[in-house]
């Protein structure tokens, strides 16, 4: 009974998108993809390891234009599909500090990818759509394709 109450309470709590949900059986986060578009709900897709299974979840901001999340929905992806997502993202060799030209953006969408590599170790990359470093082109195209596929079940 306490586990069910703790889970319900945690899922009703508004949290920062980088914050991991914590309830009995929530699992360990592996990868988080966040898409934020002006005047729309922030959407987050997260792969977690729960026991021997890889599971995909989707969450949204409670209101448009807010950098927070509430709740989660377990998506129907198989463990193998989730493994392919995680391994695909981890397979890229990217410069962390690539040269960037000047640009200005008033409106648009931003994307963040957070890869958990181990205990207290993670890599977070973010960019504005259309204004990413040229060295990240293949990675960004891969993430865009993932987002398009993920949006089929859990739309942005």
pLDDT digits 0-9 by tens, 54-82: 999 999 999 999 999 999 999 999 999 99
pLDDT for 106 equals: 60
Q: Judge whether 32 and 45 are in contact, CB under 8 Å.
A: yes
Other residues' Cβ atoms within 10 Å of the Cβ of residue 86: 19
Q: Judge whether 114 and 18 are in contact, CB under 8 Å.
A: yes
Domain ranges in the chain are 2-153
Closest CA to 111 of 89, 83, 81: 89
Other residues' Cβ atoms within 10 Å of the Cβ of residue 5: 10
pLDDT for 73 equals: 92
Could you tell me what percent of the chain has a pLDDT over 90?
55
pLDDT for 104 equals: 56
Alpha helices in the chain (DSSP H): 2-12, 79-90, 137-153
Q: What whole-number distance in Å separates Cα of residue 146 and Cα of residue 149?
A: 5
Find the angle CA(79)-CA(88)-CA(47) to the nearest 5 degrees. Answer: 45
Q: What whole-number distance in Å separates Cα of residue 156 and Cα of residue 115?
A: 20
The alpha carbon dihedral of 117, 119, 121, 124 has a sign of positive
What's this model's pTM, rounded to 2 decimal places?
0.88
Query: Would you give the DSSP letter of residue 108?
Result: -
């Amino acid at each position: 009974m306490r586990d069910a109450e703790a889970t319900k309470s945690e899922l009703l709590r508004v949290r920062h998108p980088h914050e991991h949900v914590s309830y009995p059986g929530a699992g360990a986060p592996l990868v988080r993809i966040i898409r934020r578009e002006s005047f729309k709900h922030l959407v987050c897709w997260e792969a977690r390891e729960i026991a021997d299974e890889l599971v995909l979840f989707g969450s949204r901001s409670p209101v448009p234009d807010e950098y927070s999340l509430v709740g989660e929905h377990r998506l129907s992806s198989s463990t193998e599909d989730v493994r392919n997502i995680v391994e695909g993202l981890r397979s890229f060799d990217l410069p962390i500090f690539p040269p960037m030209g000047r640009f200005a953006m008033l409106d648009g969408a931003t994307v963040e990818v957070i890869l958990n590599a181990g205990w207290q170790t993670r890599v977070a990359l973010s960019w504005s759509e259309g204004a990413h470093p040229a060295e990240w082109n293949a990675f960004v195209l891969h993430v865009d394709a993932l987002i398009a596929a993920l949006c089929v079940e859990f739309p942005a």
